[in-house]
Amino acid sequence: MKRFDWNLLDAAGRMEALARPRRRTETRVTDTVRQIMDDVQARGGQAVTDWSVKLDGAPPRRLALTPEVVAEARAALAPADVRAIRMAAENVRIFHQATRPEDSQWVEITPGVRSRLVWRPLSTVGLYVPGGSAPLFSSLLMLAIPAEVAGVGRRVAVTPPSKSGQPHPAMIFAAAEAGLNDLWLVGGAQAIAALTFGAELEDGIILPCDKLYGPGNAWVAEAKKQASSRPGGPAVDMPAGPSELLVIADRRADPALAAADLLSQAEHDADAQVVLVCDSERMIDEILDEVDDQIATLPRADIARASLAEARAIRVPDLDTACAVSNAYGPEHLALQTEDAETRVDKITAAGAVFVGPYAAETLGDYAAGPSHVLPTDGGAKTLGGVTAASFMTSMSVQSVSEKGAAALAPVAARLARLEGLEAHARAADLRIEA
């Protein structure tokens, strides 16, 4: 873990201290993803199949979530696992139903001129659920349920095949709990390309999607970026690449809890990044000692150690500076492990999700607290929020004007139009008065 003293750094040094891992933006990632995207655009489903076999060792497959398939998956899980998945799904649904945007009331701007805002769900969305070394069925719940609550017409969920070729039973059961009818076993940039251009495959057709969602590794994040930049390409939710966590700890923090939270994200991916910001050198030492002790017993210790090579421990003079450092970084996850954690939230302006106090483990948010854990990475939190029901909807303004309202507003609009040199605009307003 790289250590820095914030007060001893110049502007360039501070920028380096908050830099994301360089391998996230390696040229080979960009170039390979562009090759995959171009190939799928040109050859469609056959290209998706070829790249899937080459990279994952298996062709794309559609798994229909029939009652028999779901029952088999449920039987393969321990009863406690089934209950936990159902509780998590219910909590996610409750939160997003409570925060789903509603149409506004009419606002009378001037007598006879009324406007309102209405919300409509998207038609077709693509949901990318990370798999591979860890089947993240929790991400499926965090994407598919908000989309369901929003009222999306078609949800296309894709996830990489496991080494066995079969999805984890928890992934199948979670998909059923989220109300999905099927699940496509295809991952990586080729899955994003299929959702972008559409693909006719042996098991069916993946239709082009209006918007793509979901976290992923550097390849998936780059594929989403390239998809949205194509002419007529889909929108994307946010940069949602390898996981990030920043912990602000004070001298009274519990070192074991801070270390556990740092490792909970470090074990995700070698490209994940964790940052510790603290006002006490002694506490930094204690937390890093705890990290060393805890990592020794982790099953994914090798991945966590690779991630820690890009981790940072930053000493700051006070907690106000700690909050300023966090805002400059814009973390996906922010844990406030300070004595006055609740009051510190007002100082935070850029974070995907904030976890307040020693009991608010980031892990709780990952699985069962309700809000989606699909959050912006790579500094995206400075301008973007995480996935909500609103992420799967569009808003439209609706304007209603009476004859009286037109008489009041048309002269103003016409004059402003002529001030901009747009005569046709002005005449369209004038006609409302003359009619």
pLDDT score at 133: 66
Predicted pLDDT at 24: 59
Closest among 200, 201, 187, 117 to 158, alpha carbons compared: 187
The answer to whether 333 is a known catalytic residue is yes
Tokens for 100, please give them.
Answer: 């789903």
Q: Which 8-state DSSP code applies to residue 142?
A: H
The domains spanning 2-22+241-385 and 44-102+120-237 adopt the same CATH topology: yes
* pLDDT, position 22: 76
Q: Is residue 10 helix, strand or coil?
A: coil
Phi and psi at 134, nearest 5°, equal -145, 115
Please identify which residue in the block is written with the tokens 């070729």: 165
Domain ranges of the chain: 2-22+241-385, 44-102+120-237, 402-434
Quote the CATH superfamily of domain 44-102+120-237. Answer: Nitrogenase molybdenum iron protein domain (3.40.50.1980)
Catalytic site residue from 148, 177, 310, 332: 332
Beta strands 235-236 and 211-213 are: parallel
How confident is the prediction along the chain (435 residues), in pLDDT tens digits per residue? 999 999 999 999 999 999 998 765 678 889 999 999 999 999 999 999 999 999 999 999 999 999 999 999 999 999 999 999 999 999 999 999 999 999 999 999 999 999 999 999 999 999 999 986 677 899 999 999 999 999 999 999 999 988 777 889 999 999 999 999 999 999 999 999 999 999 999 999 999 999 999 998 889 989 999 999 999 999 999 988 789 999 999 999 999 999 999 999 999 888 899 999 999 999 999 999 999 999 999 999 999 999 999 999 999 999 999 999 999 999 999 999 999 999 999 999 999 999 999 999 999 999 999 999 999 999 999 999 999 999 999 999 999 999 999 999 999 999 999 999 999 999 999 999 986
- The topology (CATH level 3) of 2-22+241-385 is Rossmann fold (3.40.50)
Distances (CA, A) of 147 to 144, 178, 180, 288: 5, 9, 11, 40
Which tokens go with 68?
């028999």
pTM of this prediction? 0.91
Task: Report the interhelical angle of 27-43 vs 45-56 (nearest 10°).
Answer: 140
Q: Which of 222, 333, 362, 373 is catalytic?
A: 333
Nearest C-alpha neighbor of 179 from the set 151, 215, 214: 151
Q: Which amino acid is at 34?
A: R
Which DSSP helix (H) or strand (E) runs through 240?
none
The pLDDT value given to residue 269: 86
Can you tell me the distance from the alpha carbon of 219 to that of 192, in angstroms, rounded to the nearest whole number? 10
